[in-house]
Structure 1
């Protein structure tokens, strides 16, 4: 065991340094996302979704840095990443709308002016919708209309359509009536 440690002393030191740096980076990014979520009064489930995205980013960075630390050359890493991204690219081309909705969900986390509980009107010429935002997921919004009908609306479309705020936080107003 001691021989193994002495043989790979430099790689082990790099590994420990990478882990420490990535843990610090993860804490900083998660804290920033939490502060943005709290300041913007974003639902905690949406903030947790950002935490998942941060974890994926940290994992990809870790894989790349560990590969270098353990002696894999840039040419081999390039082959691995290009092959992986080629396969992923073909797969994502087939399901581009899912990627578009996830990207829209991330954009909405930081800049969507409406909150869960707000009643909105979506100005869509084919299917106008007036409903309360019940939940905001990674791929779509859950909208409940006055008849109690649940509509799922894709995130990428909500960013492309004109949206009007009809009533702020309907759930709070309903709670006032019951007092």
Structure 2
């Protein structure tokens, strides 16, 4: 299973005030808040963590439809950033997930899978093949494979596992 999320950094800067009282406590665990407090660029760290949580939520929906808002239950257990790539391990409802985040000056894109080895088996696909199943989860009609869609501001990513 996989999920992805993209954050348009210019739009996030204009539309989100993550520094307002209570925001971080509502979304992030103590460990995650420590990542933010100690980051060289706190804005970027907030959006790395958020995109990982959103990607995990999307991946989990493929396993168990459990709609809701529970960012505190999605726990980032480890995070290692080197240059413009972050690798992470996450947990949700006792299940492990593995994340890879690409960081650019314009956007942050996270992909999460249930196996670390699957992170390198992801490809981007075109929007022309998108359909939705009975649970409203997207798939590619050309390959009949599950896909994950994310768009924010000027950016969009649609991914699936390699065939």
Q: Answer with 1 or 2: which has the greater Rg.
A: 1
Q: What TM-score does the superposition give when structure 2 sets the normalisation length?
A: 0.23
- Pick 1 or 2: higher relative contact order, CA cutoff 8 A, min separation 6: 2
Specify which structure has the higher proportion of strand. 2
Specify which structure has the higher proportion of helix. 1
Q: What TM-score does the superposition give when structure 1 sets the normalisation length?
A: 0.22
